[in-house]
């Protein structure tokens, strides 16, 4: 599948799924699998910074960043997601359509970016990482949430084993860490969002790679 086909198919998937996602989004961000993200981001990035929320979906995460004092641009490649997200627009909070592999921002334009479960939906994650690095200023921050190895959404990648088209990449957390290290990014924080049934109290003594194996998502914060 060519890059244009990958992009078209992934975009179509999320256009179709946008309203269903929107119906569950608030709960995910406030009490569900995404509740740790904003507190994690706040630990490293000073309020008042210019932030890109890349793969923002229906924009609720962008809205929460804005409510915590950031100047936010949310971006998604699904037109329907952006249409829904624009309902949140206000001063210092806007939404645009765009592609992680060709970001609609200038060099060094942003103080920080957040990309939650979005790198996996690009044909070339490395290209997306190059783009994140390009648009973030020196000493700026890159926050990435990456699906754990057994997270349910990874099933979207299974058709590749049958020789069929797949629009979800299977990059592992440790692979992201290696790519980031090769690029010279400095990891300043990491947090694990565990799958249901995993007690955090039992994981305290485990090394990072085993913690990642038990997660729905691993959160990374890098500084350039």
Predicted confidence (pLDDT) per residue in 107-134, tens digit = 999 999 999 999 998 889 999 999 999 9
- Cα–Cα–Cα angle for 35, 7, 212, rounded to 5 degrees: 35
Q: Work out whether the CA dihedral 38, 39, 43, 47 comes out positive or negative.
A: positive
Q: What is the mean pLDDT of residues 99-105?
A: 96
What is the domain count for the chain?
1
- Determine which of 6-20, 60-74, 138-152, 172-186 has the lowest per-residue pLDDT on average: 6-20
**What local confidence, expressed as pLDDT, does residue 209 receive?**
92
Predicted confidence (pLDDT) per residue in 199-222, tens digit = 888 899 999 999 999 999 999 999
In the predicted structure, residue 4 carries a pLDDT above the cut 70 = no
CA atoms lying within 13 Å on the CB side of residue 38: 19
**Which is nearest to 122 in space by CA: 159, 169, 158, 82?**
169
In the predicted structure, residue 168 carries a pLDDT above the cut 60 = yes
What is the residue-averaged pLDDT of the chain? 93
- CA distances to 43, 73, 78, 116, 209 from 85, in Å: 25, 11, 11, 16, 35
First to last CA, the chain: 33
- Tracing tokens 């309203």 back to the chain, one arrives at 19
Whole-angstrom Cα distance, residue 87 to residue 95?
9
Whole-angstrom Cα distance, residue 175 to residue 177?
5
In the predicted structure, residue 3 carries a pLDDT above the cut 70 = no
Q: What is the pTM of this model?
A: 0.94
Domain that holds residue 15: 3-223
CATH number for the domain that contains residue 209:
3.40.50.150
In the predicted structure, residue 2 carries a pLDDT above the cut 60 = no
């Amino acid at each position: 599948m060519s890059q244009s086909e990958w992009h078209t198919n992934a975009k179509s998937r999320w256009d179709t799924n946008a309203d269903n996602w929107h119906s569950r989004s608030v709960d995910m961000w406030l009490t569900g699998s995404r509740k740790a993200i904003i507190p994690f981001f706040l630990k490293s990035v000073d309020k008042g910074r210019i932030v890109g929320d890349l793969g923002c979906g229906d924009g609720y995460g962008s809205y929460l960043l804005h409510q915590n004092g950031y100047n936010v641009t949310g971006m998604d490649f699904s037109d329907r997601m952006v249409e829904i997200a624009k309902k949140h627009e206000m001063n210092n909070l806007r939404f645009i359509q765009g592609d992680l592999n060709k970001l609609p921002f200038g060099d060094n334009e942003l103080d920080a970016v957040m990309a939650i479960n979005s790198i996996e939906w690009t044909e070339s994650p490395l290209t997306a990482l190059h783009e994140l690095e390009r648009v973030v200023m020196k000493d700026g921050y890159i926050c990435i949430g990456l699906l754990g190895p057994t997270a349910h959404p990874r099933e979207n990648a299974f058709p590749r084993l049958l020789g069929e088209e797949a629009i979800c990449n299977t990059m592992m957390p440790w692979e992201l860490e290696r790519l980031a290290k090769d690029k010279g990014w400095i990891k300043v924080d990491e947090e694990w969002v565990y799958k249901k049934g995993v007690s955090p109290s039992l994981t305290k003594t485990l090394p990072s790679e085993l913690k990642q194996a038990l997660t729905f998502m691993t959160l990374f914060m890098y500084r350039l």
